[in-house]
Homo-oligomer: A and B are copies of this chain.
Amino acid sequence: MEIVSPASHEKASLSTRVWWWFEALPKRLTAKVIETANNTKKLAQDDPRRVTHSIKVGLALSLVSLFYYYQPLYDNFGVSAMWAVMTVVVVFEFSVGATLGKGLNRALATLLAGALGLGAHHLAHLFGHIGEPILLGLFVFIQAATSTFVRFFPKIKARYDYGLLIFILTFSLISVSGFRDNEILELAHKRLSTIIIGGSSCIIISILVFPVWAGEDLHNLIALNMEKLANFLEHPSVIEYFKTSENEESNDDKSFLQGYKSVLNSKSNEESLANFARWEPCHGQFHFRHPWKQYLTIGTLTRECAYRIDALSGHLNSDIQAKPEICSKIQEACTTMSLESGKCLRELACGVRTMTHPSSAKPHISKAKIAAKKLKLLLKSSLWEQDADLLAVIPGVTVASLLIDIVNCTEKIADSVLELASLAHFESVDPTVSPEKSQVGQGEPDKPLAEIACPQVVIIVDRSENENPPGPLTTRHIEM
């Protein structure tokens, strides 16, 4: 079989081909299994909370199935216990906010629609045997059409979409099934109480067992996005764009520079997290009525800065490179602008993460602005007269101009983070506490600050997402 030449493949009979297929099957299956296992491992390692969440859902579902197994409970609820199982499957979401939102929506909508359905049932009953089904059909039609239309309102869709769905469902079920079932009140009562049991077990488990807070996720996402932009701006290959001699060797870690790309499309993620966060009670460092809206403002400004960085990235990677003579002239100002903007963004991210007033970001932004002014003066000077070929100047000047844009964007981000700090009453730190940190940052201007600034915070962030906030943060909150 193994010595069949490629040319004879075409002439191979059907049975031979089937044989080959089966012969190759174990290999292909093994490869597929290994690939799936690797994917699963990666998925779990990327966010271990996924594993905990899966276990939590299994736990809640097994708990609620007790209604069937345990005789006294079953005697009380009977087949209605089904609603509890259903509620758990449908309501249990990844974050506490989403679970709470869905649970409350479901319970309130069931209560309201149940009451209205009962009313509709009684009203229709007055119209006799012929009028009743017609009137009920009409009620169901009007209610379903109206509620479906209301679901299109953007504000309602964001917060009460699921509630309206359950409203339509319950109203139809109660008003229509009432036509047959005389024990309609008991049905409504049982449905509501089992839903409340199912919903509250979801909420309790999601809050008590390794809680995943949407608010915390949003908080970290906003800080992470700023850090991603800082990573780009402080990256050696961006800094060394102006040092043409080293241009070649920085090609290997381009992938690191792609980190900011995810910021470009973070809008929908941020918005849904903010919606969920509004349902959450106060937890960790976040009080009730935490200014979640301000996070969206910061997110929008961060995205605008990311658009500029995307344009900048296009220029840095383009084939047309700036002339060495020009580069050397604007190098210092450009490097300072990029580095200081990056440092400012990192300080802001640090401030958001640790919920401290990011007062140390201000000096960086002023330095960046001074560098921008210097650059403008430099360009204004007659230094350029000797260089008649403007085409050679363009790449460098465009990059410089984009960097000026980025400095402006960074300033806007800083303003909105400061507004958040005052809205959320961020703790103001004593600047005398950690003078060595800022010295380190200033002493090595060409080195990216990723490993220098806030290393303890980076560790906190990686772990805090599936654990309770670590000691220092909690005590800081208590001190406030």
Contacts and interface: CB of A to CB of B under 8 A. Distances in A.
Interface of A: 39-40, 43-44, 50-51, 53-55, 57-59, 61-62, 65, 68-69, 74, 79, 82, 85-86, 89-90, 133, 136-137, 140-146, 148-149, 152-153, 165, 168-169, 172-173, 176-177, 179-180, 264-265, 267-268, 303-304, 307-308, 310-311, 314, 376, 379-380, 382, 384-385, 388-395, 397-398, 400-402, 405
A376 B397 contact: no
Looking at chain A's contact residues, is the secondary structure mostly helix, strand, loop, or mixed? helix
29 contacts: A50-B152, A54-B145, A54-B148, A57-B144, A57-B148, A58-B142, A58-B145, A65-B176, A68-B177, A68-B179, A69-B133, A69-B137, A69-B179, A79-B177, A79-B180, A90-B165, A307-B307, A307-B310, A308-B314, A314-B405, A379-B390, A380-B390, A380-B391, A384-B388, A384-B390, A385-B388, A390-B393, A393-B397, A397-B401
A402 B311 contact: yes
Given A153-B39, A398-B401, A173 B61 contact: no
A314 B69 CA distance: 66
Given A54-B148, A148-B57, A311-B307, A140 B62 contact: yes
Given A146-B54, A149-B50, A169 B85 contact: yes
Given A85-B169, A89-B168, A310-B307, A145 B391 contact: no
Number of copies: 2
A141 B59 contact: yes
Interface centre among A141, A165, A376, A395 (most CB of B within 10 A): A141
Contact of A65 (B54, B82, B140): B140
Given A149-B51, A268-B268, A388-B385, A141 B311 contact: no
A339 to B, nearest CB: 21
Contact of A55 (B40, B145, B264, B395): B145
Contacts of A303: 264
Contacts of A179: 68-69
Given A69-B137, A137-B69, A376 B391 contact: yes
A114 B74 CA distance: 22
Given A142-B58, A145-B55, A179-B68, A85 B173 contact: yes
Given A177-B79, A379-B390, A385-B385, A137 B89 contact: no
- The 9 A-B residue pairs with the shortest CB-CB distance, nearest first, are A58-B145, A58-B141, A54-B149, A54-B148, A379-B390, A380-B391, A58-B144, A398-B401, A54-B145
A133 B68 CA distance: 9
A407 B319 CA distance: 16
A419 to B, nearest CB: 22
Contacts of A133: 69
A80 to B, nearest CB: 11
A169 B69 CA distance: 17
A282 to B, nearest CB: 28
A9 to B, nearest CB: 28
A380 B379 CA distance: 18
Nearest to A165: B89
Given A51-B149, A65-B172, 12 more contacts: A59-B141, A62-B137, A74-B180, A85-B172, A85-B176, A265-B268, A307-B310, A311-B311, A314-B405, A380-B392, A390-B397, A394-B401
